[in-house]
Chain A
Amino acid sequence: MSTLLDIRQLSKTFHSGKGSVSALQNINLAVKEGEFITVIGPSGCGKSTLLKIVAGLDVEYDGSVKLNDRDVTGPGIEKGFIFQEPRLFPWLTVEKNIAADLSLHKPEIRKKVDELIELVRLKGFEKSYPRELSGGMAQRVAIARALLRNPKVLLLDEPFGALDAFTRAHMQEVLLDIWQQNKTTMIFVTHDIDEAVFLANRIVILKPRPGTVQKIVPVELLFPRKKSSAAFQELRFKVIGEFEKIEELELVDNGAGI
């Protein structure tokens, strides 16, 4: 498969009145078409910043970010983005939220919206308002809204972070379903190790201050995955091991723990 997203020597520095903070330093990552990447790291490692840069929401960076060999210069529908909160338009019903700026009167849009409602398992809630939905349902609407635009890559910024454990597990299944059916490339930021292992083809582990790639761990487990399986646990320990290395480094660097 060909490379869809190519990140080279990406660095990002935040400037403020008090000085500059390096958020990301020399990030290199090539994402193949159809791949499921999870990005994991402790808070402050710049994982959200990385995602915003790929989305084109933040264009002040050094290095190069190319999607399909074209520089990312701003946001656009080829890069779907799911925020931590669903961020639905409260005045629109579920189906109108999915359509957003597109018209449901167009038969091809209508058809695709209906298909997506089926895909994210929201049949029967087409006419509901966001205030009537649970957190998990609202986030599924947000996913459908992004998918309607046929994004080349779907960027997810801790999308299930605010959900309870059961809903979260369910949403992971739904997302894998969507991924297997649509073959959409996914970049999924999380701070949950189980989630990172459960979903990914490759796990990108970031370490903080400044944000750099600690390690990229390939996950070759077959789908559907069992969180209780020995192979899963082995990978999980491997990722935890990497985090312990980060912590040890922090201790040496700062002379004190976090």
Chain B
Amino acid sequence: MSASTDMTKPGGYKRTTVFLLGSILPLALLVFWQVLGGLGVISTLLFPTPVTIAKAFGKLAATGELWEHFRISVARAALGFILGGGFGLLCGILAGLFRRTERAFDPTIQMLRMVPSLAVAPLFVIWFGIGEESKVLLIAKGAFFPLYINAFLGIRNVDNKLFEVARVLGFSRLKQLIRLVIPAALPNILLGVRLSVGISWLGLVVAELMASTSGIGYLMSDARQFSKTPVVFVGIIIFAVVGKLADSLVRLMERRWLKWRDNYQG
């Protein structure tokens, strides 16, 4: 596992090298973009240059407006993730542990999974109002399924031979759950967390596009109406960067908690 605490990776690369390797493509793109915009090859109205976008970002940040929208968006995504993801994890564990629960609930859950968020968004507004509830619940709906499916799969993939060991060692039901099932299913559960975090963050756009007056999604749709393209780009960049950071956080957890794994590392 690349969780080694020293600075060298198995392949002999330093962390900074790895970081630089990942930055080459976006940096080259930015330079290319700025040059093309400066030369007038592409319309700066449709594609404001990176410098213009940076200025717009600076202006929004200076007034504190950006921070306010950002804070609200993150709170919505986090709450939606905790609610939907937590419930998904619980349901996935229950369905994974008990065949009867699976038979009773899984078909319904799979049907609900296939209903697009955009299709139910108007209904959520009618049911829960245009306040925070409908937005958070819409995000929660998206975050539920990846954790549900992966927790379920993780539990069903636990080696039966280890269950036999647990029986021979006289594990109680509770110990079987916390010392065998959960750790063995953890790789799948963390994958579910990763997917759920992503979906929660993406779900913000749908949630904040419907009758919203705050959040990064609102900031973008508002800017679009007034053709403030640089602000739209600021929103896009925030989505990309924060999404990547959240994803990295989960991967950090994976590295820490799954260092016992013995898999091909590329």
Contact = CB atoms under 8 A, between A and B. Distances in A.
B260 A75 contact: no
Contact of B162 (A79, A80, A81, A87): A87
Contacts of A75: 167-168, 170
Contact of B164 (A57, A80, A129): A57
B169 A100 contact: yes
Interface residues of A, number: 23
A186 B138 CA distance: 61
Interface in B216-266: 258-262
A124 to B, nearest CB: 19
Chain B at the A interface: SS class: helix
B161 A87 contact: yes
A101 B167 contact: no
B260 A81 contact: no
Interface stretch (B110-118, B148-156, B176-184): B176-184
A101 B183 CA distance: 13
Contacts of A89: 162, 165, 179-180, 183
A149 B261 contact: no
A27 to B, nearest CB: 21
Interface string A146-178: 100100000000000000000000000000000
Contacts of B100: none
A149 B167 CA distance: 13
Interface string A78-98: 011101010101111000000
B171 A101 contact: yes
Nearest to A96: B179
B165 A57 contact: no
A131 B166 CA distance: 20
Given A83-B161, A100-B179, A101-B179, A91 B260 contact: yes
Interface string A89-122: 1111000000011000000000000000000000
Contacts of A83: 161, 164-165
